[in-house]
Structure 1
Amino acid sequence: MTQASVSDYSHLELNCSNMMQTLNYFSDVLGMTLVSIQWADSAKNAVRAFMRLNDRATISFLATLRTPIDIVTGVTHSKNAADNTRAGTLQHIAFNVDTVEDLLALRDRIRASGVHCLGPMDHGFCYSIYFAGPDDTALEISTTTNDMSKWIVPSVVDYIGLTDEELERLKA
């Protein structure tokens, strides 16, 4: 019997405090398009919107009429991709672009919208820019290089205690 595994993601869903602000940001700043807006059947007095990421995946936003939970940096939000946050919470979302030129064009568009944007940073296996979205959601856009030798760093493998056998099993 073949073991099933996931092949992609369907959507990510983020709570948002202001649906219009969130939709405008992800449309105007990041160039995404709205594909669905509806009552959220899983949450009372809530609306949900989906924006197209690619042909198979979307990002979803949920806005409720409930009393909001305060943002606490380091607990509920990292605020940027380098900061700490509580285990089990979203650290950041990283989107992909095809080229460094696309990355630089988006960086310039983000900055032109008045949003502080750090980078690009050269991580060896990718180039990334970092910025905050609505509700202080930490966001990243990156473009991947083809040098796969930089994706698994031996000193990190040693640091977390992976044996050669465990590493090979995880890669299989």
Structure 2
Amino acid sequence: MEPMAKTNISLSGEAAQEGAAVQRRSRSSHKPLDPDTADAFVRRLCYLLDTEDFFGKYASFTPQAKIAKQFLASAEDKSKSEFNCAVSPEVRHQVPLVFQAVAGVMEEKSGVIVQSTAEINGEGFGRGLLYTGRVILVLRSLRAGFPFPFTAEEKVIRYGVECVEEGLAFLHKYKEITALHGLLSLEG
């Protein structure tokens, strides 16, 4: 029994080393973003922020400044959210805006109406859902608010563009599968 135990220990050690190497590589290397999609996402997010700016306080700001002032959470808010697992009202405000902006970009690029539903409770658990008709295009679970709150514009844009690309890829795949009967004609 002893040789078998030593083999299992050595195998689990090798697997842990390989897993750590993969994890390190995946964090440092990011796929380059499509600049058109990133610009469309920033534009949509700024439109949504402008609709809430009733008195035009931020009307003269650049898109980057609008996102920084109206949307991003401060470092203190992020540390407070991580400490007690309770999310602030600012974070609860970020979640639906991101998914609405993603839905708008997907509509522009695909020509299909895309709806968004996003919810997050006070403890940071929730989901973001993008769908068209009866087809779910993107479903993201939020655990303890992760990846929210965003503290940098680059992270917001990367998250939004990744959601757009995921949803469009699934929509394209689903259209190919249902080309004979149409996208929304399946009976369930």
Do Structure 1 and Structure 2 share a fold, with TM-score over 0.5?
A: no
| Structure with the greater alpha carbon radius of gyration | 2
Q: Name the TM tier (shorter chain).
A: under 0.3
Structure number with the higher strand fraction is: 1
Q: TM-score, normalised by structure 1?
A: 0.26
Structure number with the higher helix fraction is: 2
